[in-house]
Amino acid sequence: MNEAAYRDLIERHVEAVLALIRGDAQIANVVFEGDVTGDPGMYVNVWHDTGFYSAHDASDTPVDVEVTFTVHSVGRDRWQAVWASGRVTARVLGVVPQIEGRRCWRIAPAGSVPVARDDDASPLRFIARDRFTLRSTPKPTT
């Protein structure tokens, strides 16, 4: 698998998770991947790592994928951050996404951090941080 194919594979995982989160109409318009546009009072920012690959085939080609997502749920007060974090968790936790050509596992929790003040932000914001992992392997061909 070449570099472009790996990037595409990871992006398909990212798009699947973003689609799940954006499926919640109450936060759909304030879900970002990386850069936040405008000045939303409350928003969700989804970050992901570059993915972890393991080789489990005879050619020693990396085929198993694990992507870790770090989700920042940001609000003007701690309750907005907690509320947004709860909405995200309800949308993704335990869900098995559908990714073409892949067999996915349930999205699993990978830790969280209690809500904290972001004293560097002006105006003051509160952030809840949650991490989730999504694992997949190639779908068996019949």
- The one-character DSSP state at 107 is P
Question: Into how many domains does the chain fold?
Answer: 1
pTM of the entire predicted model: 0.90
User: What's the half-sphere exposure (Cβ side, CA atoms, 13 Å) at 121?
Assistant: 16
The domain in which residue 96 lies consists of 3-138
The CATH number given to whatever domain includes residue 129 is 3.30.2000.30
Strands 43-48 and 31-32: parallel
- 115 contacts 125 by C-beta, under 8 angstroms: no
Q: Give per-residue pLDDT as tens, 27-56.
A: 999 999 989 998 899 999 999 988 776 655
What is the per-residue pLDDT for 102? 93
Q: Give per-residue pLDDT as tens, 13-30.
A: 999 999 999 999 999 999
- 127 contacts 116 by C-beta, under 8 angstroms: yes
CA-to-CA separations, 95 to 19, 28, 38, 69, 88, in angstroms, rounded: 12, 18, 30, 14, 12
